[in-house]
Structure 1
Amino acid sequence: MATIDSKSALTSEESVTQNQSSPWYRRVLWLIAIWFGSVIALGAVASLFRLMMHMAGMTTH
């Protein structure tokens, strides 16, 4: 059975304190990066669907 060293284990209160100590601009940059990544992924999926629809003979005119 494995044991956990109590000195190295963080309590939930300590981990919350560490998360809040990061600078606000770093959290905003992560938010922007995740948003930008999701927009790129959505664009890629939409392009793939458009390509498949075009290959199936569906056109916009």
Structure 2
Amino acid sequence: MVGKERDRKAGPPNPADSQPLIKRLGWMVLIWTCSIVALGIVSYGLRLVMTAAGLKS
């Protein structure tokens, strides 16, 4: 009885738990890589703007 009550209170099952570990890690790596690429694009854009404004290092 106690186990059934605990299962009922736990809420709906998490669909991510049924996915293979390699697939979840792959998504994490993909999202991390995209964030690094986006950061590089933004920094390159800022560098272009600063160079156009006459600020060179």
Question: Any unmatched runs of 5+ in structure 2?
Answer: 1-10
Instruction: Give the root-mean-square deviation of aligned CA atoms.
Output: 0.9
Runs of 4+ in structure 1 over 6 Å off = none
Which structure has more RCO (C-alpha within 8 Å, separation ≥ 6)?
2
Question: Any unmatched runs of 5+ in structure 1?
Answer: 1-11
Q: Which residue of 1 aligns with 2:43?
A: 46
Q: Which residue of 2 aligns with 1:23?
A: 20
- Once the two structures are TM-superposed, the CA of residue 59 in structure 1 deviates from its matched residue by 0.6
Give the Cα–Cα distance (whole angstroms) in 2 for the partners of residues 20 and 35 of structure 1. 20
Aligned residues: 47
Give the Cα–Cα distance (whole angstroms) in 1 for the partners of residues 50 and 18 of structure 2. 49
Give the Cα–Cα distance (whole angstroms) in 2 for the partners of residues 32 and 41 of structure 1. 14
Q: Which residue of 2 aligns with 1:7?
A: none
TM-score for both structures, normalised by structure 1: 0.72
Calculate percent identity across the aligned residue pairs: 34
